[in-house]
Amino acid sequence: MTTVPDRRSERLAGLGAERARFRELIGKVGSGEHTSTGLSRAEARDAMDLMLTGQADPAQIGAFLIAHRIRRPSPIELTGMLDSYRAHGPVLTSPGQRPLCFGVPYDGRSRTAPLLPLLALLLAAAGVPVVLHGGDPMPVKYGITMAELFAALGIEWRGLSLAAIQGTLDRHGLALTHQPDHFPQAEGLVAIRDAIGKRPPVASLELLWTPHRGAHLLVSGFVHPPTENRAWQALAEAGEDDLLTVKGLEGSTDLPTSRAAITARVREGQIERILLHPRDHGITGAEPPWLGLDPWRTQALEALQGEGPLAEALHWNLGAYLWFAGGFATLAAALNQARALLAARSGERLRRELGA
């Protein structure tokens, strides 16, 4: 009797165990609206593990990422992916300190002048540690990056060992991990992200992940309310018990000066919506536009001394984040301290120390 070959089984065997497994996960996220089941937390971690370790085929990874973008990741899927990032990514610690850890879009800024590098310098100078993470120019936007902005100020994070970054955090209260140097597994996905031409769910993940381990305030930017809601749920499942979500400029954590700042503080599962009105504190300026790296450097150096077109926005952001960090009873008091820090050129002194 002739046996009819099971061609499907033969084909799956030819893929190898890992690629066959990833094929199953693609099927779960890539099915139609009525048949897609989504992934469990463990399955989402498994998918991210297979992508980060290169055990999935590039074509499979592209298919997964674009299908997942179209369907939108569920909060529990983001938690599973976050589990994988925590397992494979770099780790920084700050025993006895509670830093602010910022999650901002890796594909950078292109319309408004960024403030976070200046804010980070001033917060660190005020004794509030800051942990950042970023990469090289990233699809699909290819905007200016955190590393490029710091380099324009004379502070180079690229090409340093993780031990050197940890040392800077220990000594100065400031750190930035650079994906090509410190998270090469994630960097391996960049070419695929470019090929699909859309922000994949990994872009959302980068807003929720931090290399810091231990107590901290995680600050995550968002654009659309559903994104904020998914972040709350995903991070609650991941055990993040102190979170600030910010509807900032271009998805960043930079607070606007031309409108109310929409934020929310999530502590131990309790959500408090916080609206900050800059006009109530005499701040009325428009958002400074992005004019290029050289003009930004000039403006940034002026702002660190309390002068120039970025000064008002930097004062507003510094006061707000000093208040969020818990050192002041009122926002007005924090803004007064922010003005004093700018007048004392505290951020400029730290910039010179880090750039030496």
> DSSP states of 185-227 as a string?
HHHTTHHHHHHH-S--HHHHHHHH--SEESS-EEEEE-SSHHH
Tell me the torsion sign for CA atoms 211, 253, 73, 272: positive
Mean pLDDT score, 124-134: 98
Instruction: State pLDDT tens for residues 161-176.
Output: 999 999 999 999 999 9
Tokens of 99: 């830093």
Position 6 scores a pLDDT of: 62
Instruction: Report whether pLDDT(102) > 80.
Output: yes
> What's the rounded Cα separation, in Å, for the pair 131 and 210?
8
Instruction: State pLDDT tens for residues 252-304.
Output: 999 999 999 999 999 988 999 999 999 999 999 899 999 999 999 999 999 99
Position 171 scores a pLDDT of: 98
CA distances from 95 to 26, 91, 166, 167 (A): 40, 13, 12, 13
Instruction: Report whether pLDDT(11) > 90.
Output: no
Mean pLDDT score, 325-346: 97
Share of the chain above pLDDT 70, in %: 94
Tokens of 267: 């502590």
Q: In 3D, which of 64, 25, 52, 77 has the Cα closest to residue 195?
A: 64
Tokens of 236: 């609650």
CATH number for the domain formed by residue range(s) 97-355: 3.40.1030.10
Domains of the chain by residue range: 14-71, 97-355
CA distances from 282 to 244, 278, 349 (A): 24, 7, 27
Helix (H, G, I), strand (E, B) or coil at 266: strand
* Mean per-residue pLDDT of the chain: 94
Question: Binning pLDDT at 50, 70 and 90, where does residue 9 land?
Answer: low
Position 5 scores a pLDDT of: 55
**Taking CA 146 as the corner, what is the angle to CA 51 and CA 218, rounded to the nearest 5 degrees?**
70
Position 16 scores a pLDDT of: 84
Which secondary-structure segment (H or E) carries 132?
Answer: strand 130-134
Position 3 scores a pLDDT of: 54
Question: Binning pLDDT at 50, 70 and 90, where does residue 32 land?
Answer: low
Which secondary-structure segment (H or E) carries 245?
Answer: strand 242-246
Mean pLDDT score, 328-341: 97
Instruction: Report whether pLDDT(2) > 70.
Output: no
**Taking CA 238 as the corner, what is the angle to CA 234 and CA 240, rounded to the nearest 5 degrees?**
95
Q: In 3D, which of 341, 336, 244, 344 has the Cα closest to residue 281?
A: 336
Cβ burial 205-244 (10 Å sphere, 16+ → b, else e): bbbbbbbbeeebbbbbbbeeeebbebbbebbbbbebebbb
Task: Indicate the burial class of 137 (C-beta count within 10 angstroms; 0-12, 13-18, 19 or more).
Answer: middle
Q: Are 98 and 216 in contact (CB under 8 A)?
A: yes
pTM above 0.85, yes or no: yes
Mean pLDDT score, 57-68: 95
190/226: higher pLDDT:
190
> What's the rounded Cα separation, in Å, for the pair 162 and 166?
6
Position 304 scores a pLDDT of: 97
> What's the rounded Cα separation, in Å, for the pair 124 and 120?
6
> What's the rounded Cα separation, in Å, for the pair 298 and 335?
24
Q: Are 263 and 275 in contact (CB under 8 A)?
A: yes
| DSSP-derived pairing of the beta strands 242-246 and 217-221 | parallel
Tokens of 57: 């085929």
Position 246 scores a pLDDT of: 98
Mean pLDDT score, 60-75: 94
